[in-house]
Chains A and B, each alone.
Chain A
């Protein structure tokens, strides 16, 4: 589903954020991307979101070579990748409903279908009654769940999340991760960047470790995924 071959990324400043990274994530897998701050986790996810382009190497997502995607085609690619951010990136002047509906409106989904799907997505993240609320009226954990509802509403086959629990206390973090696990169980391929080792250990999924832009001990806890693939 996600295949990196010898991918390097050097930023304009001369920093080599990723150095010859290769790995393969199967369809329906859930993988944690770990590593200390500055290891290159965000960079790797940005390459997947086509926010950045690799300096070298090849990335294939869902059978599509990202190198062959021109600027004008990026929007259509992004609609098939659900994205979740540490800072939620919600629109604070719009109610929850509008935030969650945004991907559907962008994709041109028929309007009569939108309320139903927004309700279903909010129900999935346990916020069924918050449609009319503004994001500021919600707790940080609830805001993150709104972000997750928005990421899954267009039913993307892939979900990527950059430190989604970075601002949450351990209980809420575990809840959010459980939510990802459930989404993974209905068939979505999930890639979550996190440096919360305790949490990752509790969830027992495959871990991809980065250090200074290189993959180290890629199958550190590989047993968990071996049974599922």
Chain B
């Protein structure tokens, strides 16, 4: 009884379907398109794997590099031994004056410990290490100054804070020169900042690449399903209805690419864990590489899905309207 006797009966039968039922059907269609999109990926496993691999590599490159950069930043930001400040004192300060100065410096909130190296200790040390001892004795008087080696408290170990502490101590009248071995650390951090920025730019370009890859794959898919699109339009399908399966298809590609990227980053980190542990042990550190973490993994997967979705949007916007029944 698909045919109706007249319009009145037809209208009555149509309106029997409530808005809730309609919405349920709509949601079901979404779920089915989600499943159908996945089915399409499974149907051509090799082609799908290749596309997913390309997306995965494009996502893994920036993700992996960002992980490395942030590891390097966290290492350089908390490098304990590196933030050491040496105060070279003026000549002809008596040993007791040096001790007095050391005590007052020790009282500073940013100073954890002060090691005093008197002028004669400096000389002895120099003699021992340099082998120029005899030359020095020719000079008659000791040319080396007394030195205060300061280890900042934890709050003052970052390059910026240590730099500030150095400035404060440098203005003391007894101090001839401040030497900080954090200069290289600051340069390293500046370089890491540049690297970080560069990786972000490359990430943007690779994101564009992912959009284009997915867009092109979906374009081919649209071409393959031309008849289906035409027939659906003849049966009264809206643009949104026709778009839906392609958008889900693209999102699946993005998600699969994201998972692939996650695995690639994991493998790369595992491969690097050994050498990094070795390097850390040389510095007496127990540092180990941290991975993407929960948040990073989430960002990676969500970006994959979003880029896949965007890629199919581009393809769909460009090609779907052009397909009209004739």
When chains A and B are docked, how far (Å) is the Cα of A163 from the Cα of B194?
Answer: 70
- Which B residues from 3 to 35 make CB contacts under 8 A with A? 3-7, 10, 13, 17, 21-22, 24-26, 28-29
Tell me the bound Cα distance from A90 to B234 in angstroms.
12
Rounded to whole angstroms, the CA-CA distance of A69 and B17 in the bound complex is 25
Q: A105–B29 contact, CB under 8 A?
A: yes
A89–B1 CB distance below 8 A: no
Asked whether B1 lies within 8 Å of A120 as measured between CB atoms, the reply is yes
Which A37-84 residues have C-beta < 8 A from chain B?
A: 49, 51, 62, 72, 75-79, 83
Nearest neighbor of A42 in chain B, beta-carbon distance: B326
| Min CB gap B140→A, angstroms | 100
Docked-complex contact A121 and B234, CB < 8 angstroms: no
- In chain A, positions 94-110 with a C-beta closer than 8 Å to chain B are 102-103, 105-110
Taking the closest CB of chain A, its distance from the CB of B15, in whole angstroms, is 13
Closest to B6 in A: A187
Q: Could you say which residues of chain A place their CB within 8 Å of the CB of B241?
A: 75, 106
A42 to B239, CA, bound (A): 25
Q: Interface stretch among B90-98, B225-233, B253-261, B299-307? A: B225-233
Q: For the complex, is A161 an interface residue (Cβ under 8 Å from B)?
A: no
A215 at the interface (CB under 8 A from B): no
Q: Which residues of B contact A72 (CB under 8 A)?
A: 238-239
Provide the bound-state CA to CA distance between A8 and B228, in Å.
Answer: 30
**A91 contact from B7, B227, B236, B238, Cβ within 8 A:** B227
Contacts known (A75-B237, A106-B241); A91 close to B3, Cβ less than 8 A = no
Contact residue among B24, B28, B235 (Cβ-Cβ distance under 8 Å from A103): B235
> Bound complex: CA of A109 vs CA of B14, how far in Å?
9
Contact partners of A75 in chain B: CB under 8 A: 233, 236-238, 241
Q: A72 to B29, alpha carbons, bound, how many Å? A: 20
Contact B236 A109 (CB under 8 A): no
Instruction: State the CA gap A120–B4 with chains docked (Å).
Output: 13
**Cross-chain contact B29 with A183 (CB below 8 angstroms):** no
B235 and A102 form a contact (CB under 8 A):
yes
The answer for the CA separation of A202 and B177 in the assembled complex, in Å, is 116
Q: Write the nearest CB–CB distance from B169 to chain A, whole angstroms.
A: 74
Contacting residue for A155 out of B10, B230, B233, B324, CB 8 A: B10
Most buried by A among B230, B232, B236: B236
- Least CB separation from A78: chain B residue: B236
Q: Is the CB of A78 within 8 A of B17?
A: no
**Known contacts A157-B4, A187-B3; is A110 also within 8 Å of B232 by CB?**
no
Which of B6, B26, B235 is most buried by chain A, counting CB atoms within 10 A of its CB? B235
Contacts of A103 in B (CB 8 A): 235-236
Whether the pair B5, A51 counts as a contact (CB closer than 8 A) is no
Chain A residues positioned under 8 Å from B17 (CB to CB):
109-110, 113
Q: Is A21 an interface residue (CB 8 A)?
A: no
Q: Which of B1, B13, B22 contacts A110 (CB 8 A)?
A: B22
- Min CB distance A221 to B, Å, is 24
Q: Does chain A have a CB within 8 A of B325?
A: yes
B324: chain A residues at CB < 8 Å are 51
12 contacts between A and B (CB under 8 A): A75-B241, A90-B231, A91-B231, A102-B231, A106-B237, A110-B24, A111-B24, A150-B235, A157-B7, A157-B10, A183-B3, A186-B5
Q: A102-B235, A109-B17, A110-B25 are in contact. List 17 more A-B contacts (CB 8 A).
A: A49-B234, A51-B326, A72-B238, A75-B236, A78-B235, A83-B234, A89-B227, A107-B236, A110-B21, A111-B24, A113-B17, A121-B2, A124-B1, A124-B3, A149-B2, A152-B2, A183-B3
Closest 8 CB pairs of A and B: A79-B236, A78-B236, A186-B3, A110-B21, A187-B5, A108-B25, A75-B236, A75-B238
Residues of A at under 8 Å CB distance from B? 49, 51, 62, 72, 75-79, 83, 89-91, 102-103, 105-111, 113, 117, 120-121, 124, 149-150, 152-155, 157, 183, 186-188
